[in-house]
């Protein structure tokens, strides 16, 4: 997708917006929908496949202004500071969500409930190919109760919903357009989402573009990248360009629907860990989804399948270096049955295949093929006092190593095949104690098959500044998790708290062996230079415990402490979490765990105006292993935002300004590998002002 095409696509979409507004004024033949008619229903499907609004599993949903005001260029940073969620932060261009201290392949990232494989779990510097500019809603399911998504969801699930395949009729035409600019990295961004249709057909089109320079920070840093200043108050090599889009459509019939979409994502960004290395990434995804409601005992059969072609190349200067690719297919079928007494539920089948390859000097894992097939079930039992849930899943995972076919002289990779049969089960309960109180509990036993790189890695990995070594004899990862929660709601006043413990009998982690290896992978002589520390994937006993809490308190306005309706409303939004993770074999803490975090925001609303002012406090992190981690100091980041809404004919305009890190505080993330490997070159971004406009129609 060329720059001219991107500009033209966005230009055409904006002209379409203006033309449609004019048509609405002149009473065009097609009657307009209400402003929010094209938005998805606020039903959280990730936490409950049956669509219940009261969820047993702890779930957070971001959409509308909540998502708009916290959106960043990466998924991890967008979700950072959601209770229980932190970010892997490999600079401003690559980060994955960390949920309850667990990251990588223990966090499942979905698109519209289906798989969207990439290579982001393989390495911290690999970006997730999604963008909030064309996202309708993000659902975060915390904890191990999402077993219908496999062992890779033991920590949680992040479901990115973009409605590229509409699942409900759209009668009319609508959409939204976003424009934004940020001072801290001189980012210019824009996105357009257009949807239209009738009772039988629906069409979705979207496009987005981001362009940012190096990120400003509160400290002067060195930079050896050609063409850049030798020293500057910026993170060297942190610029980013990203663009993409999609076309999708659905045909509806009396007993269901069938739809398809084609989407693309392109990004070129600096890796931050190396001053002269950039990554050129592309991801193309083809998806098909449908539902049939035959009636009778089987009330619906829902199926979705996708094919993803992911590839990125690491350029050293302008020369292509290591290339990673992942070709994947994903199929998911769910059959929901009608109620049997107080029971309702579904059974399902899922299948995933992945063809992974890494070629180049820094190919630390071999070519491999992975196939996973699974059967799962989920049932709920309704009572007068609440609900009980039960789920079970059985899988077969086959991993085959092909070595390094492009160069048979490379023999450091093991060749062969392993087969695993993980089994998982979960129980949940929701109890209504009173109209304002609910208690929840979740108990889950989960097994996860080792990933290909955990079994087969054997090479230099710059992102971790280590020579990583897999173990072909690894066994399944096994864990038992318990979550207890309580929530209270009275009008606008809410409070929720969850406490959890997850114990692993075989936690597959990457730990230092204490040896240094040379560039050929041999044990280095004492005092040798240009060596890498050896890190080995191994199974250990581990325990994760933590508490999450958040809520809202109305201070001013209706149902508040002060009843001054003419003065608008003033709410106090509060949040906090803490997690402890321990290697039970060594007694040491596990690395890259978020410290105690507390936050609060005053949110004011009066007519078309809205304002927010708050802080996020991160305590010092001194609980680190003796090797391979760095302590971090405490810090507080202050932020503020203001919004103004207006209506122009049929269009609703939201003007906003947001300032992050108001005091320009120097801070380092405890959950980022860069804090250890390239310190002090990758602090969190400094003060930045973002202004923007969202138009919905």
Instruction: Report pLDDT for 34.
Output: 38
Rounded Cα gap, residues 354 and 328, in angstroms: 4
* Lowest model confidence (mean pLDDT) among 105-114, 165-174, 391-400: 105-114
Contacts with 352 (C-beta within 8 Å, 6 or more apart), sequence order: 115, 117, 328, 329, 330, 331, 370, 371, 372
Instruction: Report pLDDT for 235.
Output: 97
Instruction: Report pLDDT for 476.
Output: 96
Q: Assess contact for 183 and 208: CB atoms under 8 A.
A: no
Rounded Cα gap, residues 472 and 452, in angstroms: 9
Rounded Cα gap, residues 217 and 215, in angstroms: 7
* Phi/psi at 297 (5° precision): -65, -40
Rounded Cα gap, residues 447 and 396, in angstroms: 11
Higher per-residue confidence, 309 vs 628 = 309
Residue 636 Ramachandran class (φ > 0 left, ψ -120 to 50 alpha, else beta) = beta
How buried is residue 491: exposed, middle or buried, by Cβ count under 10 Å (0-12/13-18/19+)?
Answer: exposed
Angle at 52 between CA 48 and CA 54, to 5 degrees: 95
3-state secondary structure of 25: helix
Q: What is the mean pLDDT of residues 468-474?
A: 95
Task: Write b or e for each residue in 173-200: b if 16 or more Cβ atoms lie within 10 A of its Cβ, otherwise e.
Answer: bbbbbbbbebebbebebbbbbbbbbeee
Rounded Cα gap, residues 306 and 498, in angstroms: 35
Most trustworthy range by pLDDT among 200-214, 352-366, 518-532: 200-214
Q: What is the mean pLDDT of residues 623-645?
A: 95
pLDDT grade for 200, boundaries at 50, 70 and 90: very high
Residue 542 Ramachandran class (φ > 0 left, ψ -120 to 50 alpha, else beta) = beta
pLDDT above 90: residue 318: no
Fold classification of 3-696 is Maltoporin; Chain A (2.40.170)
Rounded Cα gap, residues 63 and 79, in angstroms: 12
pLDDT above 80: residue 14: no
In degrees to the nearest 10, what's the CA dihedral of 527, 529, 531, 534?
A: 20
Instruction: Report pLDDT for 54.
Output: 78
- The secondary structure of residue 135, as a DSSP letter, is -
Higher per-residue confidence, 408 vs 75 = 75
Rounded Cα gap, residues 222 and 214, in angstroms: 13
pLDDT in tens, 169-195: 999 999 999 999 999 999 999 999 999
pLDDT in tens, 398-453: 999 999 988 888 888 989 999 999 999 999 999 999 889 999 999 999 999 999 99
Rounded Cα gap, residues 402 and 385, in angstroms: 55
pLDDT above 90: residue 101: yes
Task: Classify strands 416-420 and 298-316 as parallel, antiparallel or unpaired.
Answer: unpaired
Q: What is the mean pLDDT of residues 646-672?
A: 97
Rounded Cα gap, residues 194 and 664, in angstroms: 38
Instruction: Report pLDDT for 18.
Output: 38
Taking alpha carbons only, the member of 634, 622, 690 closest to residue 666 is 634
Instruction: Give the N- to C-terminal CA distance of the chain in Å, as an integer.
Output: 27
Q: What is the CA radius of gyration of the chain?
A: 25
pLDDT in tens, 663-683: 999 999 999 999 999 999 999
DSSP-assigned letters across all residues of 636-687: EEEEEEEEEEEEETTEEEEEEEEEESTT------TT-THHHHSTTS-PPP--
Higher per-residue confidence, 232 vs 521 = 232
Q: Assess contact for 76 and 137: CB atoms under 8 A.
A: no
Angle at 608 between CA 137 and CA 78, to 5 degrees: 30
Helical segments of 538-629, H only: none
Task: List the structure tokens of 463.
Answer: 């992102």
Residue 408 Ramachandran class (φ > 0 left, ψ -120 to 50 alpha, else beta) = alpha
Higher per-residue confidence, 245 vs 21 = 245
pLDDT grade for 11, boundaries at 50, 70 and 90: very low
Instruction: Report pLDDT for 118.
Output: 84
Instruction: Report pLDDT for 175.
Output: 96
Q: What is the mean pLDDT of residues 451-470?
A: 90
pLDDT in tens, 534-591: 999 999 999 999 999 999 999 998 776 666 557 799 999 999 999 999 999 999 999 9
For the chain, percent of residues with pLDDT exceeding 70: 92
Rounded Cα gap, residues 365 and 295, in angstroms: 49
Domain boundaries defined on the chain: 3-696
pLDDT above 50: residue 38: no
Q: What is the mean pLDDT of residues 455-481?
A: 92
* pTM for this entry: 0.91
Higher per-residue confidence, 367 vs 47 = 367
For the chain, percent of residues with pLDDT exceeding 90: 77
Instruction: Report pLDDT for 145.
Output: 62
Mean pLDDT of the chain: 90
């Amino acid at each position: 997708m060329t720059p001219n095409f991107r500009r033209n696509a966005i230009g055409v979409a904006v002209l379409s917006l203006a033309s449609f507004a004019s048509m609405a004024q002149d009473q065009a033949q097609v009657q307009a929908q209400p402003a929010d008619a094209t938005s998805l229903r606020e039903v959280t499907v990730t936490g409950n496949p049956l669509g219940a609004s009261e969820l047993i599993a702890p779930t957070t949903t971001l959409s509308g202004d909540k998502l708009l005001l916290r959106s960043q260029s990466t998924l991890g940073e967008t979700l950072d500071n959601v209770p229980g969620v932190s970010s892997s932060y490999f600079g401003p261009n690559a980060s994955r969500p960390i949920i309850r201290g667990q990251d990588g392949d223990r966090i499942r990232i979905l698109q519209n409930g289906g798989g969207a494989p990439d290579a982001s779990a393989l390495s911290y510097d690999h970006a997730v190919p999604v963008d909030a500019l064309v996202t309708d809603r993000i659902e975060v399911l915390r904890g191990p109760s999402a077993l219908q998504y496999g062992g890779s969801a033991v920590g949680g699930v992040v479901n990115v919903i973009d409605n590229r395949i509409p699942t409900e009729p759209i009668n009319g035409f609508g959409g939204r357009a976003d424009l934004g600019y940020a001072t801290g990295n001189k980012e210019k961004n824009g996105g357009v989402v257009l949807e239209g249709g009738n009772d039988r057909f629906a069409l979705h089109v979207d496009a987005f573009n981001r362009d940012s320079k190096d990120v400003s920070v509160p400290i002067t840093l060195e930079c050896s990248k050609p063409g850049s200043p030798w020293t500057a108050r910026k993170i060297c090599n942190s610029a980013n360009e990203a663009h993409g889009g999609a076309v999708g459509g659905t045909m509806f019939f009396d007993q269901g629907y069938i739809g398809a979409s084609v989407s693309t994502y392109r990004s070129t960004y600096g890796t931050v860990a190396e001053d002269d290395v950039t990554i050129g990434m592309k991801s193309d995804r083809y998806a098909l989804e449908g539902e049939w409601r035959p009636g009778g005992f089987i009330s619906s059969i829902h199926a979705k399948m996708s094919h993803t072609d992911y590839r990125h190349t690491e350029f050293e200067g302008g020369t292509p270096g290591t290339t990673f690719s992942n070709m994947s297919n994903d199929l998911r079928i769910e059959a929901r049955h009608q109620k049997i007494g107080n029971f309702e539920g579904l059974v399902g089948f899922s299948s995933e295949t992945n063809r992974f390859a890494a070629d180049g000097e820094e190919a630390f894992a071999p070519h491999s093929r992975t196939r996973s097939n699974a059967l799962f079930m989920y049932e709920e039992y309704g009572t007068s006092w609440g609900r009980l849930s039960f789920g079970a899943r059985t899988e077969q995972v086959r991993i085959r190593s092909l070595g390094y076919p492009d160069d048979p002289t490379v023999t450091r990779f093991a060749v062969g095949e392993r087969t695993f049969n993980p089994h998982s089960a979960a129980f949940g309960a929701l109890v209504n104690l009173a109209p304002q109180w609910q208690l929840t509990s979740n108990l889950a036993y989960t097994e996860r098959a080792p990933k290909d790189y955990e079994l087969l890695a054997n090479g230099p990995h710059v992102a971790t500044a280590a020579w990583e070594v897999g173990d072909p004899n690894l066994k399944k990862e096994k864990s038992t998790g318990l979550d207890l929660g309580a929530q209270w709601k009275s009008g606008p006043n809410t409070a929720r708290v969850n406490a959890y413990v997850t114990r692993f009998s075989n936690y597959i982690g990457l730990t230092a062996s204490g040896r240094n290896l040379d560039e050929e992978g041999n044990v280095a002589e004492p005092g040798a230079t240009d060596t890498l520390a050896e890190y080995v994937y191994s199974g250990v006993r581990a325990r994760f415990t933590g508490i999450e809490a958040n809520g809202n308190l109305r201070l001013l306005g209706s149902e508040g402490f002060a009843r001054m309706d003419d003065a608008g409303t003033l709410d106090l939004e509060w949040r906090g979490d803490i997690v402890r993770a321990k290697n039970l074999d060594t007694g040491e803490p596990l690395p890259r765990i978020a410290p105690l975090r507390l936050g609060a925001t005053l949110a004011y609303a009066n007519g078309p105006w809205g304002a927010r002012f708050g802080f996020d406090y991160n305590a010092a992190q001194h609980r680190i292993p003796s090797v391979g981690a760095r302590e971090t100091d405490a810090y507080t980041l202050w932020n503020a935002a203001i919004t103004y809404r207006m209506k122009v004919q049929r269009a609703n305009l939201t003007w906003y300004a947001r300032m992050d890190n108001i005091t320009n505080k120097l801070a380092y993330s405890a959950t980022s590998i860069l804090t250890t490997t390239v310190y002090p070159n990758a602090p969190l971004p400094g003060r930045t002002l973002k202004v923007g406009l969202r138009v919905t129609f």
